[in-house]
């Protein structure tokens, strides 16, 4: 079928709108889609510029042709074999874009800012991986395939290497924050959501602030720690080796005062579990509460005259 700008009578249009609405409602944040531009690109063409990469202030949504055709077949009541799995990919792809577009400022373009761009992609993909099943009933995808009939909600991400690196990075952040239960789905959802809500150019610095003791670092050490974190995450994506992202967090935190590190890592000296959590509950550790992403405070509606959704 045709590539290019989707018309308003195309099934993809209302379907995409429902996904953006679900993301906006869940994050309680502005999503920088004007509610007009939705582009289908050829499957063999990767995003090459700021518009396709969804890193402009009022960005279109972009969907590969194969996935758009899946939505169109469901709209016509003519799905074929393999379409349920493709619908999951299409929904995840669009949901991840909408999550990325809920950041307070437009994301960085590649080149010198590629490490920030990769982190942008990875955070949005991880957020989607953790939210896809929950948000599915709020989208038109549920009309095509009811949530209890979806074979698998597996979504590797728009940028699988960045998604895997971001997940590994968040796992290590939580481990560095103190002993406790292993990182769970709520931790990934809350932490990725909180970092998406941070200005893109400040995210690596925010990650450092999440590590115990980094507020005591000198300015030169803080700068070097951020560079190490940035370079390590870039290497993890380029080499498709997620463990390098965790190594980068450990390298950055290695500059913390050794005595403070002993207090953080020694279970006998660890602080008690947070109020309201048992020692065995997910998240029962010294990690801070991340507000604003786990609960829906209001139902934002579209605000297309303002160039976006609120």
Stronger pLDDT, 236 or 57, i.e. the higher one: 236
CB atoms within 10 A of CB 265: 14
Query: What's the rounded mean pLDDT across residues 102-127?
Result: 78
Residue 175 half-sphere exposure toward CB, CA atoms < 13 A: 12
Max CA pair span of the chain: 65
Asked if the model's pLDDT at residue 96 lies above 80, the reply is yes
Rg (CA), the chain: 20
Taking the model in full, what pTM does it have?
A: 0.79
- Length of the chain equals 310
Percent of the chain with pLDDT over 70: 72
289 or 120, greater pLDDT: 120
pLDDT, tens digit, 9 for 90 and up, residues 209-251: 888 877 777 888 888 888 889 999 999 999 999 999 999 998 8
Would you say 174 and 145 are in contact if contact means Cβ atoms under 8 Å apart?
A: no
> Where are the alpha helices (H) located in 184-218, listed in sequence order?
185-196, 203-209
Q: Give the pLDDT score at 46.
A: 56
| pLDDT score for 305 | 37
Which has more confidence, 160 or 6? 160
Please state, in angstroms and rounded to a whole number, the distance separating the CA atoms of residues 248 and 226: 9
- Report long-range pairs for 130-133 (Cβ below 8 Å, ≥24 apart): 130/185, 130/188, 130/189, 130/192, 131/26, 131/95, 131/99, 131/189, 132/88, 132/91, 132/92, 132/95
pLDDT at residue 110, rounded to an integer? 53
Tokens 């005591």, residue? Answer: 216
Q: How far apart are CA 292 and CA 194, in angstroms?
A: 8
To the nearest whole number, what is the mean pLDDT of the chain? 78
Contact 173, 191 (CB under 8 A): yes
What pLDDT digit, counting tens, does each position of 239-286 carry?
999 999 999 998 888 776 554 555 555 555 444 433 332 233 233 333
Mean pLDDT score, 70-95: 97
Residue scoring higher pLDDT (9 or 141): 141
Could you give the dihedral angle defined by the CA atoms of residues 62, 158, 129 and 226, in that order, rounded to the nearest 10 degrees? -120
Q: Is 36 helix (H, G, I), strand (E, B) or coil?
A: coil
Amino acid 294: pLDDT: 34
Would you state the pLDDT for residue 94?
96
Report the phi/psi class of residue 135: left, alpha or beta, with left for phi > 0 and alpha for psi in -120 to 50.
alpha
**What pLDDT, in 10s, does the model give residues 120-165?**
899 999 999 999 999 999 999 999 999 999 999 999 999 999 999 9
Q: What does the pLDDT read at residue 182?
A: 62
């Amino acid at each position: 079928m045709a590539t290019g700008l989707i018309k308003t009578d195309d099934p993809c249009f209302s379907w995409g709108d429902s996904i953006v609405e679900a993301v906006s409602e869940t994050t309680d944040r502005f999503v920088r889609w004007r509610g007009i531009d939705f582009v289908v690109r050829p499957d063999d063409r990767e995003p090459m510029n700021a518009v396709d990469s969804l890193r402009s202030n009022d960005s279109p949504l972009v969907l590969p042709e194969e996935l758009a055709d899946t939505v169109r077949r469901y709209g016509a009541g003519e799905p074929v074999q393999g379409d349920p799995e493709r619908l999951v990919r299409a929904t995840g792809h669009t949901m991840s874009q909408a999550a990325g577009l809920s950041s307070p400022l437009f994301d960085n373009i590649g080149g010198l800012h590629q490490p920030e761009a990769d982190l942008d992609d990875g955070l949005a993909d991880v957020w989607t991986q953790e939210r896809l099943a929950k948000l599915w009933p709020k989208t038109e995808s549920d009309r095509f395939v009811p949530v209890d009939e979806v074979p698998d909600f597996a979504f590797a991400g728009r940028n699988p290497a960045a998604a895997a690196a971001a997940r590994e990075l968040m796992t290590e952040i939580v481990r560095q924050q103190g002993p406790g239960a292993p990182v769970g789905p709520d931790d990934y959802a809350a932490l990725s959501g909180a970092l998406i809500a941070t200005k893109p150019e400040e995210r690596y610095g925010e990650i450092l602030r999440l590590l115990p003791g980094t507020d005591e670092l000198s300015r030169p050490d803080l700068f070097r720690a951020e560079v190490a974190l940035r370079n390590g995450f870039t290497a993890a994506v380029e080499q498709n080796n997620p463990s390098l992202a965790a190594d980068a967090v450990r390298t950055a935190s290695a500059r913390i005062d050794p005595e403070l590190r002993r207090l953080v890592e020694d279970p006998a000296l660890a602080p008690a579990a947070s109020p309201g959590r048992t020692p065995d509950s997910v998240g029962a550790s010294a990690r801070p509460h991340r507000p604003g992403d786990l609960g829906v405070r209001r139902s934002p509606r579209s605000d297309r005259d303002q160039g976006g959704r609120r």
